[in-house]
């Protein structure tokens, strides 16, 4: 039998970093600039947060440092794409690789280890991140659908000619969107390490890539993203519990959340296609 409360907590724990990364990645996606650097932004946020928490013992300072580090890396990504005119996807992959290597180097210099870094003391931040996520979800919805910024952001993808005719530079909004994704990923990465009480190399574990799928599974809408992230987290949490209950090959069980996500994306695509006909 599955204990409901631990199962639900496990589901939400898995969902939170994916949700923050997807919510941040939503802004560039709406601007027609898919940010595939979400994985690296989560990772640098996780390391920065744990490092600062180790020295200060302050969860607030840890989150702030994670946001700062992720925004700084996002700025580098935006600069290479919109100022140096680098390829968007190559730059994103480079940021992911840079983040991974940078965390190892900094860990070796600061903590004298390239492996796991543990916090001196823990912090109970679970509920704080849940309420922060819900608050930012509402703020994102308002910003996207009820403000001039949101109208212009979405126009960057659908009608750049109209923006240019008004003297508005679409690239400015795309840069802002990438920086916003850094803010969200910084918070999500901070939850990964502070909630665990440790930084583990590559602890983002593909969550940034999953977040990209969640963005489109949620139909590029804030509340749709919440539902999609919850669906994936539920499937992954269920697969974790199923390993100890059913005598099914572990490979099949571990693939369960990804199969569920794939099926859900196919269903959503069929629904969208029928609605257009």
- Distance (Å, whole) CA 220 – CA 196: 30
In this predicted model, what pLDDT tens digit does every residue of 53-109 receive, in sequence order? 998 888 999 999 999 999 999 999 999 999 999 999 999 999 999 999 999 999 999
| Average pLDDT along the chain | 88
Task: Give 48 or 123, the one with higher predicted confidence.
Answer: 48
Instruction: Give the pLDDT score at 13.
Output: 92
HEC per residue, the chain: CCCHHHHHHHHHHHHHHHHHHHHHHHHHHHCCCCCCCHHHHHHHHHHHHHHHHHHHCCHHHHHHHHHHHHHHHHHHHHHHHHHCCCCHHHHHHHHHHHHHHHHHHHHHHHHCCCCCEECCCCCCCHHHHHHHHHHHHHHHHHHHHCCHHHHHHHHHHHCHHHHHHCCCCHHHHHHHHHHHHHHHHHHHHHHHHHHHCEECCCCCCCHHHHHHHHHHHCCCCHHHHHHHHHHHHHHHHHHHHHCCCCCCCHHHHHHHHHHHHHHHHHHHHHHHHHHHC
Confidence of residue 123 (pLDDT cuts 50, 70, 90): low
Q: Of 202, 180, 177, which is closest to residue 192 (Cα–Cα)?
A: 202
pTM for the model:
0.90
In this predicted model, what pLDDT tens digit does every residue of 188-240 receive, in sequence order? 999 999 988 899 999 998 899 999 989 988 889 999 999 999 988 988 888 77
Confidence of residue 254 (pLDDT cuts 50, 70, 90): low
Asked whether residue 2 carries a pLDDT value surpassing 60, the answer given is: no
Q: Which CATH number, 1.10.3470, 1.10.10, 1.10.8, 3.30.1490, labels domain 4-276?
A: 1.10.3470
């Amino acid at each position: 039998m599955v204990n409901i409360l631990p199962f639900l907590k496990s589901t939400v724990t898995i969902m939170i970093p994916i949700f923050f990364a997807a919510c941040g990645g939503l802004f560039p996606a709406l601007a027609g600039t898919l940010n595939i650097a979400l994985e690296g932004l989560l990772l640098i946020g996780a390391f920065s947060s744990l490092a600062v928490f180790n020295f200060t013992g302050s969860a607030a300072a840890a989150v702030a440092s994670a946001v700062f580090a992720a925004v700084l890396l996002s700025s580098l990504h935006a600069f290479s794409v919109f100022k140096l005119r680098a390829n968007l996807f190559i730059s994103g992959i480079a940021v992911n690789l840079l983040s991974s290597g940078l965390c190892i180097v900094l860990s070796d210099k600061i903590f004298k280890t390239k492996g796991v870094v543990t916090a001196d003391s823990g912090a109970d931040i679970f509920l704080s991140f849940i309420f922060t996520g819900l608050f930012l979800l509402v703020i994102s919805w308002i910003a996207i659908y009820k403000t001039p910024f949101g109208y212009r952001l979405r126009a960057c993808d659908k009608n750049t000619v109209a923006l240019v005719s008004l003297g508005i530079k679409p690239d400015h909004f795309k840069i802002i969107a990438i920086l916003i994704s850094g803010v969200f990923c910084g918070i999500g990465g901070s939850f990964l390490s502070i909630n665990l009480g440790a930084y583990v190399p590559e602890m983002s574990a593909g969550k940034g890539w999953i977040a990209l799928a969640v963005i489109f599974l949620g139909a590029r809408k804030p509340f749709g993203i919440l539902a999609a992230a919850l669906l994936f987290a539920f499937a992954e949490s269920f697969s974790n519990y199923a390993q100890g209950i059913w005598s099914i090959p572990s490979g099949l069980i571990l693939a369960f959340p990804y199969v569920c996500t794939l099926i859900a994306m196919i269903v959503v695509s069929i629904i969208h296609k029928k609605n257009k006909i």
